[in-house]
Amino acid sequence: MQIARVIGTVVSTIKNTELDGRKLLVIQSLDSNLRRVGKPLVAVDSVGAGVGELVFWCRGKEASFPFEGGLVPTDCTIVGIVDSPQHVTNPAPT
């Protein structure tokens, strides 16, 4: 899993039927200092996240598990909303 910031939304009418009614968000992954790392991705939301929020997401087949039946084709699902940036405790480098 990785921490990310929700930076936008994606609208898609023609899509896999298992994605019907699912919210698609653009996320930017962050490192432990909340600096951008990697490129933006499209994620399926499973927790009611919105633009601007700090979240964490899951990759791989496991990304479909939050959804009933586990049949949603996704490799990137938002599985939690971080309470605030202060709730990311980053141990000082040793």
Residue of 59, 47, 58 whose CA lies nearest to 83: 47
Taking residues 18 to 37 in sequence order and writing x for each that binds another protein by CB under 8 A, - otherwise, the string is -x----x-x-x---------
CA-based end-to-end distance of the chain: 24
* Residue 46 touches another protein, criterion: CB under 8 A: no
The sign of the CA dihedral 46, 51, 54, 59 is positive
With CB under 8 A as the contact rule, the residue among 54, 74, 78, 79 that binds another protein is 74
Catalog residues that contact another protein under the rule CB under 8 A. Answer: 7-16, 19, 24, 26, 28, 39-44, 51, 59-61, 63-64, 71-76
